[in-house]
């Protein structure tokens, strides 16, 4: 053990001597990209393995009835893995990563390197209606954080390497290195500067090379653009943007409603039973909701609606285009419900790919409606751009949506409709849903990282490091003479917190307020603290964000404010210490 420590120490010393900080960050970004790519490859292969086993000859012999059973089995397995092996909460990948960036200075627990890697393939492989992008990001981010911690990198570098891991996971998943960089910048609000851009580039390339090594040229979305953009279709694209905006609002709202409903169910087992039954029933009635749904997306992109809907256990006249349109709309409607129920029941997965699924069904149905009414538009193009609209609206990531669809399909000639639909859908959704599914809980708690540097600096500051405790507390029944002897004479501060026997905060005494009587001996036994105390100009609560603390100082015009936790006195925060800490953090965050 000692020899290992010495070897590790020698590596660190050698690194400090011969490799500059920037060069070392470049090396680590390549390493993190490789690890993120490797994690994503394992994630995809495990999921494909479960799907191939369950959808092989065995399931064909028993027909579609097992679509009801498999998701329930998967959820039960995930439940027992959580409570027996991992024994900790996994959380949703991108949301928990954002929280680690904003409130934990990029420190992610090591168990998250493997938690999603085990549970997500079981959830999705057994039919859970979710995606793998969130778990891939969670796995990669945990690997990036662990690498940064291993080499004792500072908080800023830890966050940058988490961004590199995010880009790596995205790049490896979709073989889209440019979109991956934009995703990391857009979702994690990283600076688009040389210091961060080069590591992101290196990580993204490293990950996509790793993906090519494992999967060669196989792509999740195998489609090449055939039809060019026609200017005459602009009006229809505007309508599609509005349609995907409405669908994005529905997707987000239904997610919030179902999630809140399941939160009221206290026991995880009850959630599992109810959620498992509902998922099983939906997949039994609508088998295309099974798993991620890449089969349906690719078939719609290639104009094969019959193949996309072949698993539906009904006698369908596929020559009737209106029947196909209705079925596609039903599938899109229930995808958001099935996905959210999968999460609420205890499954592990992501929302990224379900948005592509829903968008493809809506875009294709929209094109079919236009053509059925006498128009002539490209169904494959509208399918693609429907995916862009849903992604831009639901994820609040319009740039990622534009570049991802363009990059993975070679559809750069569709940039005009891609940008138009993404902009309309994002603006419409943003008006009704202020925060995405990823960020809504963080925004409620004031913990959301944005591109506003001032707010980010305040968010990255920790309130417990600002609290000063060298204030002498006094009690309401304490007489003036005793207060002067016990507190004033032994303190270098001019303010004294008043607490009761349970240490609950009651008020303050200012040295200026007692100065006129502090040398009058006759008052020592006549005046008590309760008489001379007064209310604090404002109270800081321990769970207040630093932004709120700053606002309280501004509104109260005070120099010191008390901090209270569960009604109990904790200490004081001074305006001068707060501003000094803000200045130091700003220098740390903005330095290259």
Within 65-109, where are the H helices? Answer: 70-81, 93-103
Report in angstroms the alpha-carbon separations of 200 from 62, 165, 190, 217, 484: 48, 8, 10, 22, 61
What is the pLDDT, as a whole number, of residue 62?
A: 56
Residue 528 sits at φ, ψ, to 5 deg, of -110, 170
Same domain, 474 and 400: no
427 within domain boundaries: yes
The DSSP annotation for 500-565 comes to: -TT-BEEEEEEHHHHTTTTT-GGGTTT-BHHHH-B--S--EETT--HHHHHHHHHHH--SEEEEEE
Kindly report, residue by residue over 146-177, the tens digit of the pLDDT.
888 888 888 788 888 888 999 999 888 888 88
106 within domain boundaries: yes
239 within domain boundaries: yes
Given the DSSP bridges, would you call strands 540-541 and 560-565 parallel, antiparallel or unpaired? parallel
Same domain, 502 and 529: yes
What is the pLDDT, as a whole number, of residue 449?
A: 59
447 within domain boundaries: yes
Name which residue leads in pLDDT, 89 or 410: 89
Q: What is the mean pLDDT of the chain?
A: 83
Same domain, 38 and 169: yes
Residues of the chain with pLDDT > 70: what percent? 88
3-state secondary structure of 164: helix
Residues of the chain with pLDDT > 90: what percent? 20
The lowest-confidence range among 362-366, 574-578, 584-588 is 584-588
Say yes or no to pLDDT of 426 above 90: yes
Average pLDDT on 450-471 reads: 71
Which region, left, alpha or beta, applies to residue 199 given φ > 0 means left and ψ of -120 to 50 means alpha?
Answer: alpha
3-state secondary structure of 205: helix
What is the pLDDT, as a whole number, of residue 112?
A: 85
What is the pLDDT, as a whole number, of residue 524?
A: 80
Kindly report, residue by residue over 103-121, the tens digit of the pLDDT.
777 788 888 888 888 888 8
Name which residue leads in pLDDT, 29 or 319: 29
| Cα(425)–Cα(335) distance, integer angstroms | 19
221 within domain boundaries: no
Tokens of 552: 């309280």
Residue 116 CA from chain centroid, whole number: 14
What is the pLDDT, as a whole number, of residue 71?
A: 84
Average pLDDT on 371-399 reads: 90
Kindly report, residue by residue over 530-543, the tens digit of the pLDDT.
888 888 889 988 88
Same domain, 281 and 400: yes
Average pLDDT on 340-352 reads: 87
Q: From the CA atom positions of the chain, what is the Rg in Å?
A: 29
Same domain, 465 and 443: no
The lowest-confidence range among 122-136, 229-243, 445-459 is 445-459
| Cα(585)–Cα(445) distance, integer angstroms | 21
Same domain, 160 and 248: no
The DSSP annotation for 266-328 comes to: --HHHHHHHHHHHHHHHHHH-GGGSSS-HHHHHHHHTT-HHHHTTT--S---TT-HHHHHHHH
Say yes or no to pLDDT of 63 above 60: no
Same domain, 345 and 203: no
Residue 384 CA from chain centroid, whole number: 25
Same domain, 313 and 439: yes
Average pLDDT on 13-39 reads: 84
223 within domain boundaries: no
Average pLDDT on 465-482 reads: 87
Q: Identify the band that residue 292 occupies on the pLDDT scale cut at 50, 70 and 90.
A: confident
Name which residue leads in pLDDT, 390 or 463: 390
Same domain, 474 and 438: no
Domain that includes residue 563, residue range? 457-590
The single residue listed with the structure tokens 């609560």 is: 541
Same domain, 6 and 110: yes
Say yes or no to pLDDT of 550 above 90: no
Average pLDDT on 268-289 reads: 87
What is the pLDDT, as a whole number, of residue 592?
A: 47
Tokens of 146: 């662990």
Domain boundary among 215, 241, 276: 215
Counting the structural domains of the chain, the total is 3
Question: What CATH code is carried by the domain that includes residue 372?
Answer: 1.10.3080.10
3-state secondary structure of 350: strand
Which region, left, alpha or beta, applies to residue 139 given φ > 0 means left and ψ of -120 to 50 means alpha?
Answer: alpha
Report yes or no: 168 and 209 within 8 Å, Cβ to Cβ: no
Report yes or no: 141 and 97 within 8 Å, Cβ to Cβ: yes
Q: Which of 430, 365, 362 is nearest to 392 (CA)?
A: 430
Tokens of 569: 């006195």
Same domain, 114 and 254: no
The single residue listed with the structure tokens 């993120």 is: 36
Q: Which residues pair with 571 in a beta bridge?
A: 563
What is the pLDDT, as a whole number, of residue 422?
A: 94
Say yes or no to pLDDT of 249 above 90: yes
256 within domain boundaries: yes
Domain boundary among 451, 467, 499: 451
Same domain, 243 and 364: yes
Name which residue leads in pLDDT, 191 or 492: 492
226 within domain boundaries: no
Domain boundary among 451, 466, 494: 451
Residue 75 CA from chain centroid, whole number: 22
Q: Which residues pair with 565 in a beta bridge?
A: 568
Q: Which residues, including other chains, have CB under 8 Å from residue 514's CB and lie 6 or more apart?
A: 480, 488, 532
The single residue listed with the structure tokens 């639909």 is: 421
Report yes or no: 338 and 282 within 8 Å, Cβ to Cβ: yes
Question: What CATH code is carried by the domain that includes residue 521?
Answer: 3.10.580.10
Given the DSSP bridges, would you call strands 505-510 and 540-541 parallel, antiparallel or unpaired? unpaired
Report in angstroms the alpha-carbon separations of 39 from 132, 143, 345, 375, 466: 11, 9, 25, 46, 39
3-state secondary structure of 479: strand
Entry pTM: 0.77
Report in angstroms the alpha-carbon separations of 203 from 34, 164, 567, 578: 7, 5, 48, 36
Q: Which residues pair with 479 in a beta bridge?
A: 528
């Amino acid at each position: 053990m000692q020899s290992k420590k010495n070897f590790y120490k020698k590596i660190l010393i050698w690194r400090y001597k011969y490799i500059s900080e920037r060069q070392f960050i470049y090396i680590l970004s390549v390493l993190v990209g490789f690890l993120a790519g490797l994690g994503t490859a394992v994630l995809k292969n495990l999921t494909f393995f479960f799907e191939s086993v369950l959808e092989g000859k065995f399931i064909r012999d028993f027909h579609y009835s097992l679509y009801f059973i498999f998701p329930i089995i998967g959820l039960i397995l995930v439940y027992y893995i959580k409570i027996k092996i991992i024994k900790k909460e996994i959380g949703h990948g991108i949301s928990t990563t954002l929280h680690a960036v904003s409130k934990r200075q990029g420190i992610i627990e090591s168990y998250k390197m493997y938690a999603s890697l085990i549970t997500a393939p079981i959830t999705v492989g057994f039919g859970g209606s979710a995606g793998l992008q969130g778990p891939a990001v969670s796995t990669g981010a945990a690997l990036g954080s662990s690498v940064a911690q291993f080499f004792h990198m500072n908080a800023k570098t830890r966050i940058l390497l988490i961004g590199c891991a995010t880009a790596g996971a995205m790049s490896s998943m979709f073989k889209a290195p440019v979109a991956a960089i934009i995703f990391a910048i857009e979702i994690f609000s990283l600076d688009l500067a040389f210091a961060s851009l080069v590591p992101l580039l290196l990580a993204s390339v490293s990950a996509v090379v790793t993906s090519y090594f494992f999967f060669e040229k196989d792509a999740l979305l195998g489609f090449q653009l055939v039809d060019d953009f026609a200017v005459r279709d602009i009006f229809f694209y505007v309508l599609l943007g509005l349609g995907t905006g409405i669908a994005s609002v529905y997707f987000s709202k239904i997610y919030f409603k179902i999630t809140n409903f399941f939160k009221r169910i206290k026991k995880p087992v009850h959630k599992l039973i109810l959620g498992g039954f509902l998922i099983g029933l939906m997949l039994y009635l609508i088998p295309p909701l099974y798993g991620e749904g890449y089969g349906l997306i690719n078939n719609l992109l290639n104009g094969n609606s019959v193949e996309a809907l072949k698993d539906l256990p009904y006698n369908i006249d596929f020559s009737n285009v209106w029947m196909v349109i209705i079925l596609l709309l039903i599938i899109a409607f229930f995808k958001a419900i099935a996905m959210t129920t999968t999460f609420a029941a205890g499954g592990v997965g992501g929302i990224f790919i379900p948005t592509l699924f829903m968008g493809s069904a809506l875009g294709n149905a929209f094109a079919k409606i236009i053509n059925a009414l006498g128009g002539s538009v490209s169904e494959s193009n509208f399918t693609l751009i429907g995916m862009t609209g849903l992604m831009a609206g639901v994820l609040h990531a319009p740039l990622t949506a534009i570049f991802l669809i363009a990059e993975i399909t070679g559809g750069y000639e569709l940039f005009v409709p891609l940008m138009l639909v993404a902009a309309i859908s994002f603006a419409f959704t943003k008006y009704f849903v202020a925060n995405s599914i990823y960020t809504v809980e963080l925004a409620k708690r004031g913990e959301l990282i944005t591109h506003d540097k001032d707010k980010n600096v305040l968010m990255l500051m920790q309130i417990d490091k600002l609290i000063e405790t060298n204030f002498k507390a006094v009690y309401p029944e304490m007489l003036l003479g005793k207060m002067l002897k016990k507190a004033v004479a032994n303190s270098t501060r001019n303010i004294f917190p008043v607490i009761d026997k349970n240490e609950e905060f009651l008020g303050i005494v200012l040295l200026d307020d007692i100065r006129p009587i502090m040398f009058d001996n006759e008052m020592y036994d006549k005046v008590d603290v309760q008489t001379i105390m007064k209310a604090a100009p404002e109270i800081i609560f321990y769970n207040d964000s630093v932004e709120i603390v700053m606002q309280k100082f501004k509104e109260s015009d005070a120099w010191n404010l008390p901090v209270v936790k569960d009604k109990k006195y904790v200490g004081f925060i001074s305006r001068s210490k707060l501003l000094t800490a803000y200045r130091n953090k700003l220098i740390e965050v903005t330095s290259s």
